[in-house]
Amino acid sequence: MKRITNLIALCVLVTFGATAQISTPAPSPAGSVSSTVGLTDINIDYFRPGVKDRQIFGTGDEYLEQYGEVWRTGANAGTMISFSTDVKVAGQDVKAGEYQIVSIPGESEWQIMLLSEPIGGNESAYNDSLAVVKTKVKSSKTAAPVERMTFQISDISADNTSANIHFAWANASWKVPIEVSFHESVMKDIAAKTQVNPQNYVAAANYYLNSGENLEQALEWMNKYLSIGENSGQFWHVHTKAQILAKLGKKKEAIATAQDSMAKAKAFEQGDFGYIKRNEDLIASLK
């Protein structure tokens, strides 16, 4: 009986100890940023050290991180970046997967490396053979001091084919370019899926319209789609057809199609969703 009583008391103490722990903020809290560029998911997981009234980058004992020395580029286990597809980083081919970002700070130029095997916080384990990317980038001064180290995926291009890895901490900032490719993948998808689902005609036609791939084929797909059931009443898709005709240089047909789209938009009880103005602008551009 005494043994059972002692066991119960021990369980109570363990449970109390587990629930009575004090939660305090981490000195270098975890951070994460993700974005989709084209068809590529990019994710950065890192730990965010603070300046805390220290001198961060320089040469000498008074500086936290030394110029010319390998740095994990973050706190704790460092910074990891992942890509869901093959990409180019600073013009260098990188396979889909996860990599550690390490760097060598400099006053006006940094060296940035992506490692295929992480070294965590052990900078002394760095070896050039681990680097799948090694590039030099210009460093600029931030407009204002940045207290917490920050990564962003910035400057995503209008055509969704490029972006930058953007670092900022203390008074230092740099960017590394990323390029993605999705055209071949989309073309394969279009070839397969327009054969099995007429709803895909619209997505395929829009992609061809925006990429200038094969406008005659895009027009054929739109004609097929609009001929199905009551699809011809979908003035937003009729407008797409007008845009394709305009790009093909078929001005008269484009104007007539835009006028048809506009008439249907005006008659739609739930509103025109801005397509009256879009059609007016398209017609004006063709006269």
Torsion (CA) 238, 208, 277, 228 in degrees, nearest 10: 10
CATH of domain 183-286: 1.25.40.10
**Torsion sign over Cα 86, 87, 89, 92:** positive
Question: How do residues 208-239 score in pLDDT, each as one tens digit?
Answer: 999 999 999 999 999 999 999 999 999 999 99
pLDDT value of position 20: 72
Amino acid in position 196: V
Ranking 25-34, 90-99, 167-176, 192-201 by mean pLDDT, the lowest is: 192-201
pLDDT value of position 12: 47
Pairing type for strands 162-179 and 87-89 reads: antiparallel
CB contact set of 104 (below 8 Å; sequence gap of 6+)? 68, 69, 70, 71, 110, 111, 113
Name the residue ranges covered by the structural domains of the chain.
23-179, 183-286
End-to-end CA distance of the chain: 99
pLDDT value of position 219: 98
- pLDDT bracket for residue 8 (50, 70, 90): low
Q: What is the DSSP letter of 71?
A: B
Q: What is the distance between the alpha carbons of residues 101 and 21, in angstroms, rounded to a whole number?
A: 34
Q: What is the DSSP letter of 161?
A: S
62 close to 55: Cβ distance less than 8 angstroms: yes
Question: How do residues 48-74 score in pLDDT, each as one tens digit?
Answer: 999 999 999 999 999 999 999 999 999
In this prediction the pTM is: 0.84
- pLDDT bracket for residue 103 (50, 70, 90): very high
